[in-house]
């Protein structure tokens, strides 16, 4: 594994797991009024495009990060629709 891949994995870990505190906050407070649903829908569409991009480049950090980030985004969208 070269150092570009290591930086990519670290970048992916940060941007992916950043959604966890947002998910936990929404889950605990049961309030998602200030969260933009449009943001998460557009972001999820973008994640799927990044996933395709990662597959085309054959870059594992991009592929892994975007699969996990997509799941976190779906979880936040679920809470947004549940609590409004």
Residues that bind a copy of itself (CB under 8 A): 3-4, 7-8, 10-22, 24-26, 29, 31-36, 38-40, 42-43, 45-47, 49-50, 52-53, 56-57, 59, 61
What is the smallest separation between the CB atom of 71 and a copy of itself, expressed in angstroms?
15
H or E element in which residue 78 lies? helix 60-83
Find the shortest distance in angstroms from Cβ 78 to a copy of itself: 15
Question: How near is the Cβ of 20 to a copy of itself at its closest, in Å?
Answer: 8
Residue 68's alpha-carbon distances to 14, 41, 46, 63, 83, in angstroms, are 11, 15, 13, 9, 23
Handedness of CA 45, 35, 11, 21 (dihedral sign): negative
């Amino acid at each position: 594994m070269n150092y570009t891949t290591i930086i990519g994995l670290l970048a992916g870990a940060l941007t992916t797991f950043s959604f966890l505190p947002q998910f936990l906050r929404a889950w605990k407070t049961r309030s998602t009024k200030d969260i933009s649903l449009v943001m998460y829908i557009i972001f999820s569409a973008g994640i799927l495009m990044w996933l395709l991009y990662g597959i085309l480049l054959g870059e594992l950090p991009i592929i892994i990060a975007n699969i996990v980030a997509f799941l976190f985004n779906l979880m936040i969208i679920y809470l947004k629709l549940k609590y409004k």
